[in-house]
Amino acid sequence: MRTTEELLIVVRDNLKTSNLHTGLCGFVDQLHSNQIITMNEMSLLDHFISDNRPGVLSKHYSFQHSLSGYYWTSGSKEPRIKWIDDILSGLRG
């Protein structure tokens, strides 16, 4: 199984070249459906996203969408890519 860092890069790179009609978790599910990631990798990513989701005081948090289940506007790629890049920067230390 790939590392979290490797998987986030896969998500980010695919997100850049794909149409986004869902949120990040739905997109991860699509990657699994398209056999880009395994079931175990999908589960790891789902847990990672949930555990590291933007908080109320985070610069990534969108209060406007907080009640909808989305952390950012549904279908908007840019804030999701920025969040992944910020996480990757933190992982690389």
Read off the pLDDT of residues 41-57 as tens digits, 9 standing for 90 and up.
Answer: 999 999 999 888 776 54
DSSP label at residue 48: H
The residue behind tokens 């790939």 is 2
More confident residue, 72 or 12: 12
pTM (predicted TM-score) = 0.83
Angle at 1 between CA 11 and CA 32, to 5 degrees: 45
